[in-house]
Amino acid sequence: MANRWWVYQRERFPLFVHSPVILAFSLSAVSYSALLRGATALPGWKPCFVAFANSMLSFLQLRLADEFKDFDEDSKFRPYRPVPSGLIKLRELGWVWGACILTQLGLALWLSPRLIGLLAVTWIYLVLMSKEFFARQWLKERPIIYMVTHMAIMPLVDLYTTACDWVPLGYKKPPHGLLWFLLVSYCNGVVLEIGRKIRTPVDEEKGVETYSFLWGRRNAVLVWLAVMTLTAALAVEAARGIAFGIPATVLLGSLVAISGFLGARFLAAEVPGRGKTLETIGGVWSLILYLSLGVIPIALRYGWHR
């Protein structure tokens, strides 16, 4: 039993890969909110823990939603995956989903019952996503609209994560300037989504609609770099709100340049497996992006005021 679930997480939701980015995402969301309201002390462990645990469970729920909505397609084109192969049953994943909801509810009650309203909004959107907004075929025929609507979950999760800071303190609305961080989160979700679906022709799979297949390798890389550049610009504006604009510009500008080099290298030769490089740099990009918008600035500010 334990081995089955270990195989599932390794293939479908690798904890050791996702945890660092989700931790940086959640801690930075809490820290950014704290910085906007003028805090000079590090956030308490309790809001940080709830933010991280809830974010991890939310992204796990996204994976579970994919398993349900893609089951027929996976059974036809990707029968080697854990669920269509029968290693894990959809019914079992349903129980995991329920456990996630109960855990999230318990965490919200523990930190602040006022969080439940925002949590419910996220749940509702997750359910709509799992049902493909009741327009599966229409969305499948319009991949850009599909991506845009599904990425809206990112700022919703982000809003709840920041709320772990400001709601328990009695604030009735988010600190001024938080919108920039939410926009960054949305666009960064697009960067990750496109980056993980760019492949060389030999790595393309039948039935898998990657962006390199839909748009062509060159266009997919150009769109990926364009959205990354837009994300960097939004992140710099967000960083300016917490007096970290210049360092963020240097860090993120350097990463955009490195990503541009790797994108050009990917296009220069059709080397099998090279698309994985773009997915990897996307993960590094996300890690540095979120650290520069919360954890690093608040650590520096805390050090200055000690």
The reply to whether 8 falls in a domain is no
How many domains, the chain?
1
Residue 189 CB neighbour total at 10 angstroms:
22
pLDDT at 154: 92
Per-residue pLDDT 10s for the chain (306 aa) are 678 999 999 989 998 888 998 999 999 999 999 999 988 777 889 999 999 999 999 999 999 998 988 888 888 888 889 999 999 999 999 999 999 999 999 999 999 999 999 999 999 999 998 888 888 888 888 888 988 998 999 999 999 999 999 999 999 899 999 999 999 999 999 999 999 999 998 888 887 788 999 999 999 999 999 999 999 999 999 999 999 999 999 999 999 999 999 999 999 988 888 889 999 999 999 999 999 998 899 888 876 655
Q: Provide the domain limits for residue 294.
A: 20-304
Do the domain assignments include residue 10? Answer: no
Give the separation between CA 162 and CA 224, rounded to whole angstroms.
27
Residue 9 inside a domain? The answer is no
| 12 within a domain of the structure (yes/no) | no
As a whole number of angstroms, the distance between CA 294 and CA 27 comes to 7
- Quote the pLDDT of residue 274: 87
What was the pLDDT predicted at 137? 86
For residue 13, tell me if it sits in a domain.
no
Entry field: residues in the chain: 306
Place of tokens 């729920």: 61
pLDDT for residue 250: 96
Evaluate whether residue 6 is within a structural domain: no
Give the CA dihedral 89, 102, 13, 48, nearest 10 degrees: -170
DSSP 295: I
Question: Residue 14: inside a domain, yes or no?
Answer: no
Q: State whether residue 17 is helix, strand or coil.
A: helix
Q: Which pLDDT value is given to residue 77?
A: 85
Q: Is residue 5 part of a domain?
A: no
CATH of the domain at 282: 1.10.600
Exposure b/e, 42-60, CB count within 10 A at least 16 = b: bbeeebbbbbbbbbbbbbb
